[in-house]
């Protein structure tokens, strides 16, 4: 006989096997800026930059040129998605907070999304 406990265990394992857990192991490259170099004499004309100090971040990203339907429940809107991690098969992206950042729109009864997954060996996105 097939017991209720066996049925519950089967359903639980079926749901957990199909889920992909996104990885958040990517760190963008930070570059320091110091122009002109310390201890040097520089001349500048009116309108020229005299000093640049600080840093900037270089971040891998995915850009969607058009909206993309991701099955019946989700739509990835046009824009930038910043890389947040990867594993051996996939890269994981989240919408950028910049003005040109993308957006994930979900159908009302769909589960909350975690990330946009791009397979490395395929042109198929989930």
Encode pLDDT of 10-42 as tens digits. 443 333 334 578 899 999 999 999 888 888 888
Residue 11 covered by a domain: no
CA geometry: angle 46, 31, 116, nearest 5 deg? 120
pLDDT surpassing 90 at residue 121? no
Q: pLDDT for 41-97, tens place per residue?
A: 888 899 888 888 899 999 999 999 999 998 889 999 999 999 999 999 999 999 999
pTM of the predicted model, to two decimals? Answer: 0.68
Judge whether 12 lies within some domain: no
pLDDT of residue 86: 94
Q: What are the respective helix, strand and coil percentages of the chain, to the nearest 5?
A: 10, 35, 50
Q: Is the residue at 17 inside a domain?
A: no
Structural domain total, the chain: 1
Whether 44 maps to a domain, the answer reads yes
Domain containing 61: what range?
22-119
Nearest Cα residue to 62 out of 87, 89, 23, 91? 91
pLDDT given for residue 19 in this prediction:
59
SS3 61: strand
Identify whether 7 is part of a domain: no
């Amino acid at each position: 006989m097939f017991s209720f406990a066996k049925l519950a265990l089967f359903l639980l394992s079926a749901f957990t096997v199909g889920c992909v857990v996104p990885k958040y192991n990517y760190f963008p490259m930070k570059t320091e800026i110091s122009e002109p170099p310390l201890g040097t004499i520089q001349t500048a004309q009116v309108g020229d930059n005299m000093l640049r100090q600080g840093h900037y971040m270089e971040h891998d990203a995915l850009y969607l040129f058009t909206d993309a339907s991701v099955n019946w429940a989700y739509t990835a809107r046009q824009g930038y998605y910043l890389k947040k991690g990867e594993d051996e098969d996939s890269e994981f992206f989240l919408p950028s907070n910049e003005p040109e950042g993308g957006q994930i729109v979900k159908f009302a009864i769909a589960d909350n999304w975690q990330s946009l997954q791009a397979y490395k060996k395929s042109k198929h996105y989930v």
